[in-house]
Amino acid sequence: MRFSDSFLDEIRARLPVSAVVGTRVTWDKKKTNTSRGDYWACCPFHGEKTPSFHADDRKGRYHCFGCGVSGDHFRFLTELDGMSFPEAVERVADMAGVPMPARDPQAEQREKERASLTEVMEIATRFFQEKLQAADGAKARAYLRDRGITSVTQQTFRLGYAPDSRNALKEHLASKGIGKDQMEACGLTVFENLPVSYDRFRDRIMFPIEDSRGRVIAFGGRAMSADIPAKYMNSPETELFHKSNVLYNFARARKTLGRDETVIAVEGYMDVIGIAQAGFEHAVAPLGTALTENQLELLWRMTKEPMLCFDGDQAGMRAAFRAAELALPMIAPGRTLRFVIMPEGKDPDDVVRDGGPEAFQALIKEARSLADMLWLRETSGGVFDTPERRADLEQRLRKLTSTIRDESVRFHYSQEMRERAQAFFGARRDTRGQGRANDNRGYGGKGQQGAGRLAISDRLAHSALVRSAGPVMPLREATIVVTLANHAALLDAYFDQAAALDIEHPDLRQLLAALLDIAAHGEPHGPAEVKAGFEARGLAEVWEKALTLVRGAHQWPALPEAAPEDAREAFIQVLHLQRSAGFLHKELKAAEQALATDPTEENYRRLVEIQAHIRDAQSTEALIEGFGVTSGRAARG
């Protein structure tokens, strides 16, 4: 039985390759990173003691770096278990919950017709490529050169040019024996209500659009003439092309995506090509419309946390907010979005041309989380000076989070938004009082020149409000490191989370790095072994300092004598506090920068709000109430 490509693609999309391979291997806990869809094991095809067999859910492939075997879901079963291909398809389809198709002669005929249409699209692609390099394409080549697109990049993306002619492509295809019906079925000619069809694309730079297997299924065209109303035009919907299910450059981005990289979704063809040429090859774009659910699923097939780039103007922010709301019901553990906001008036291609790859990388490092974007949407520009307005915000936040389908993620989002709202309202009440007390301190009241501006004094500039944290060892960070060092089970269970932590204090960073190194190399990591490991690395004094701090603060769950249940509960709490603090300090840094570059009263108040939020968070840092019962300590009254 022959299976259609679309049926096989549906199975691959629904079931990660690790689910098939995982039935026959045991994943290595140290090397495997489930959040990235990155799995390692000892190869089932040849005997080995160290894991060199790799399964990549983003690419839907496996590969052994020892013996060289590679393939997809079906090949794994045919080569390892000796199944026939139909048997392997049936097994994987059952695992994916996809019903097997009944034999359909008409469907098989349509599949043959689709194959013939992709051949037509390939011929058209080569025609456009040749015209770009011919005399007809001189103007198009000059445009690409002015945009900084090299000839190598043009060839990589197979860019072309459609001549300013009603029949050039049509006559070329006819000379190859391609009939009128096939041209029309591919969307290459316009024929509705016309006696004679003509070429759809004329005097345009052509961007071939490929499916997930790298076959050309459609075109995008950019007009060379400024008089054309539609600067960009895509192929119409055809048997091959459904634009809501396709991302430009998907196949190439998936192939080049590295283990530690994430896919970047930008707005258009030239953005993809421009940043790919600058080294960001894992870039894709929707096709002139807002992102769809199907396109989000494609992004998540490649990576767990794709990044979406939007312009910093009002239209761009509205598009970002729409994407955030669309994605919210679909998020799941380890599956979310991050948002990169461009400087106003610039797109990614502009950024890399003006500032180089470093400028774009800097924006990526400042990417905002999905939770940040939703919070920003609901609070930006709002006034919450009455109980009714605050209640309205809370109601809108509850309604948003209720749309999340995954129960665990929904719980954590509800908790996150509730905590943000409580801290936000408390901070705003504080700043209202401060604002009244400071009305005469030079902020610039009504009627004054420069109203609304804030003249920053030397005293304010050097105050604790805008100063970086001192060198004192933070208790929370010390508690995290000491807990992991004294409780090997927690280090094993939370290894990935610990590796991703942003520890600010340099000595504690060294301790955590040494601890992770000990665990990653499979060394014994009980309290005594960890202490010896610290001593061997010259960190004994630092370790004693951290341990003394934690003991002096009565953080008993971090110590080795604490019961595992108590240690785990307290660790989860302090881990949550650390992550929340990381978010707040990022917000504080942004507020400080905003105040330095634009010293308005609004930016000053925002800084005060965030500072108050940090103080509130610090005041709630305590052990879980009732700790110690399991450890034999008296419960608190």
Which has more confidence, 627 or 556? 556
Q: What is the pLDDT of residue 460?
A: 36
Q: From 377, 396, 421, give the residue that closes a domain.
A: 377
Contact 493, 572 (CB under 8 A): no
- Is 610 inside any structural domain? yes
Residues in the chain: 637
Share of the chain above pLDDT 90, in %: 41
pLDDT score of 247 more than 70 = yes
- Is 635 inside any structural domain? no
Q: What is the pLDDT of residue 426?
A: 65
Q: Is 196 helix (H, G, I), strand (E, B) or coil?
A: coil
555 - beta bridge partners? none
- Is 636 inside any structural domain? no
Q: 79-93, 164-178, 298-312, 566-580: which has the minimum mean pLDDT?
A: 566-580
Q: What is the pLDDT of residue 432?
A: 46
Q: 38-47, 69-78, 462-471, 607-616: which has the minimum mean pLDDT?
A: 462-471
Q: 295 and 168 share a domain?
A: no
Q: From 241, 276, 291, give the residue that closes a domain.
A: 241
Q: What is the pLDDT of residue 434?
A: 44
Residue that has been written with the tokens 């072994």 in this structure: 529
pLDDT tens, position by position, 300-314: 888 889 999 998 888
Q: 14-23, 460-469, 542-551: which has the minimum mean pLDDT?
A: 460-469
Query: Structural domain of residue 600, as residue ranges?
Result: 475-619
Q: What is the pLDDT of residue 384?
A: 84
Q: In sequence order, what are the residues at sequence separation of 6 or more whose Cβ sits closer than 8 angstroms to the Cβ of residue 324?
A: 337, 339, 370, 373, 374, 377
DSSP states along 608-625: HHHHHHHHHHHHT--PPT
Share of the chain above pLDDT 70, in %: 84
Which one-letter DSSP state was computed for residue 100?
A: P
Q: How far apart are CA 435 and CA 601, in angstroms?
A: 10
Q: 286 and 387 share a domain?
A: no
Joined together, the tokens standing for residue 508 give 């504690």
The mean per-residue pLDDT over the stretch 93-116 comes to 73
Q: 438 and 323 share a domain?
A: no
Q: 394 and 529 share a domain?
A: no
- Is 562 inside any structural domain? yes
Give Cα separations from 324 to 22, 299, 376, 459 (angstroms).
33, 14, 11, 41
Contact 21, 8 (CB under 8 A): no
pLDDT score of 471 more than 60 = no
- Is 137 inside any structural domain? yes
Which one-letter DSSP state was computed for residue 201?
A: -
Q: What is the pLDDT of residue 631?
A: 44
pLDDT score of 455 more than 50 = no
55 - beta bridge partners? 39, 62
CATH number at residue 30: 3.90.580.10
Which has more confidence, 527 or 441? 527
Residue that has been written with the tokens 């001189």 in this structure: 138
Q: What is the pLDDT of residue 517?
A: 84
The mean per-residue pLDDT over the stretch 110-125 comes to 82
Q: 81 and 167 share a domain?
A: no
pLDDT score of 142 more than 60 = yes
The mean per-residue pLDDT over the stretch 53-58 comes to 91
Q: For residue 469, what pLDDT band results from cuts at 50, 70 and 90?
A: very low
Q: 160 and 294 share a domain?
A: no
Q: For residue 583, what pLDDT band results from cuts at 50, 70 and 90?
A: low
pLDDT tens, position by position, 612-625: 666 655 544 433 33
The mean per-residue pLDDT over the stretch 187-199 comes to 85
* Cα–Cα–Cα angle for 584, 585, 589, rounded to 5 degrees: 120
The mean per-residue pLDDT over the stretch 597-615 comes to 70
Q: 134 and 224 share a domain?
A: yes
pLDDT score of 445 more than 90 = no
Single out the residue of 264, 405, 283, 400 nearest to residue 337, CA to CA: 264
Q: 47 and 171 share a domain?
A: no
Q: 78 and 143 share a domain?
A: no
Which one-letter DSSP state was computed for residue 240?
A: S
Contact 408, 333 (CB under 8 A): yes
Q: What is the pLDDT of residue 185?
A: 92
pLDDT score of 439 more than 90 = no
Q: 271-285, 406-420, 453-467, 555-569: which has the minimum mean pLDDT?
A: 453-467
Strands 338-341, 307-310: pairing is: parallel
Q: What is the pLDDT of residue 281?
A: 92
Tell me which range, 348-362, 436-450, 522-536, is most confidently predicted by mean pLDDT. Answer: 348-362
- Is 104 inside any structural domain? no
Q: 538 and 576 share a domain?
A: yes
How many structural domains compose the chain? 5
Q: From 328, 356, 377, give the residue that closes a domain.
A: 377
CATH number at residue 297: 3.40.1360.10
Largest CA distance in the chain: 92
Q: For residue 444, what pLDDT band results from cuts at 50, 70 and 90?
A: very low
Q: How far apart are CA 204 and CA 50, in angstroms?
A: 54
- Is 186 inside any structural domain? yes
pLDDT score of 187 more than 90 = yes
Joined together, the tokens standing for residue 334 give 């380890």
The mean per-residue pLDDT over the stretch 361-390 comes to 89
- Is 157 inside any structural domain? yes
Strands 53-56, 204-210: pairing is: unpaired
CATH number at residue 605: 1.10.860
Which has more confidence, 467 or 577? 577
Contact 440, 396 (CB under 8 A): no
Q: For residue 321, what pLDDT band results from cuts at 50, 70 and 90?
A: very high
pLDDT score of 634 more than 50 = no
Q: What is the pLDDT of residue 230?
A: 82
Q: What is the pLDDT of residue 209?
A: 96
Q: 276 and 341 share a domain?
A: yes
Q: In sequence order, what are the residues at sequence separation of 6 or more whose Cβ sits closer than 8 angstroms to the Cβ of residue 252?
A: 156, 210, 214, 281
Q: What is the pLDDT of residue 105?
A: 64
Contact 470, 538 (CB under 8 A): no
CATH number at residue 171: 3.90.980.10
The mean per-residue pLDDT over the stretch 134-159 comes to 95
pLDDT averaged over every residue in the chain:
82
Q: What is the pLDDT of residue 519?
A: 82
Q: What is the pLDDT of residue 457?
A: 37
Q: What is the pLDDT of residue 107?
A: 60
Question: What's the per-residue H, E or C state across 33-54?
Answer: EHHHCEEEECCCCCCCCCCCEE
Joined together, the tokens standing for residue 57 give 């859910």
Q: 21 and 77 share a domain?
A: yes
Q: 83-87, 338-342, 454-458, 575-579: which has the minimum mean pLDDT?
A: 454-458
* Cα–Cα–Cα angle for 167, 172, 174, rounded to 5 degrees: 95
Q: 125-134, 210-219, 543-552, 618-627: which has the minimum mean pLDDT?
A: 618-627
Q: For residue 380, what pLDDT band results from cuts at 50, 70 and 90?
A: confident
